[in-house]
Amino acid sequence: MGSVAAMKAVAVLFFLSLSLFVWADKVKEVKELQIGVKYKPESCELQARKGDKVRVHYRGKLTDGTVFDSSFERGDPIFFELGTGQVIKGWDQGILGMCVGEKRKLKIPAKLGYGEQGSPPTIPGGATLIFDTELVEILGRGSKPNDDEL
């Protein structure tokens, strides 16, 4: 009889630990954009605003830590016009107000990222995305980088 009780106890503990594992994974998912400022320069004369052409370095990760893309490793920051839908909504919102040299961690819910469809094969549907970002340059409204800078 003692071994049956022990087997039941092991089964219950296994179920509880599995439930905790699934719950902990869901806790990593976010419902709204979360912005964490990791570094802000002492001087900030210009902040990124809608319509600015910006260059941003980034490292994109899933909640399990898997890196799916990184401009840091390529040495090639992304160039886009802020607030115009050229990037995912979480970026258009999360980069606003950044200073050149500022570093932010963006936790982006699926609805502001790639949605329920994801971006196969690297980003599963419904994925929360985590980006380490650094604003490299603000080129201003309507301006373009020099060809030799790209």
Q: What is the pLDDT of residue 37?
A: 97
Active site residue 69: yes
The DSSP annotation for 60-119 comes to: EEETTS-EEEEHHHHT--EEEETTTTSS-HHHHHHSTTPBTT-EEEEEE-GGGTTTTT-B
Give Cα 56 distance to the centre of its chain: 13
- Tokens representing residue 112 in the block: 């502001």
Active site residue 76: no
Residue 140 has pLDDT above 70, yes or no: yes
Residue 45 has pLDDT above 60, yes or no: yes
Q: CA 123, CA 126: separation in Å to the nearest integer?
A: 9
Q: Please, what are the domains in the chain?
A: 34-138 (3.10.50.40)
Give percent of the chain with pLDDT exceeding 70: 75
Q: What is the pLDDT of residue 97?
A: 96
Q: What is the pLDDT of residue 26?
A: 45
Which of 58, 123, 130, 138 is catalytic? The answer is: 58
Which of 52, 80, 88, 130 is catalytic? The answer is: 88
Q: Residue range 106-116: average pLDDT?
A: 98
For residue range 6-16, list pLDDT tens digits in order.
555 554 444 44
Q: What is the pLDDT of residue 15?
A: 47
Q: What is the pLDDT of residue 28?
A: 67
Q: CA 64, CA 132: separation in Å to the nearest integer?
A: 15
Q: CA 82, CA 84: separation in Å to the nearest integer?
A: 6
Active site residue 64: no
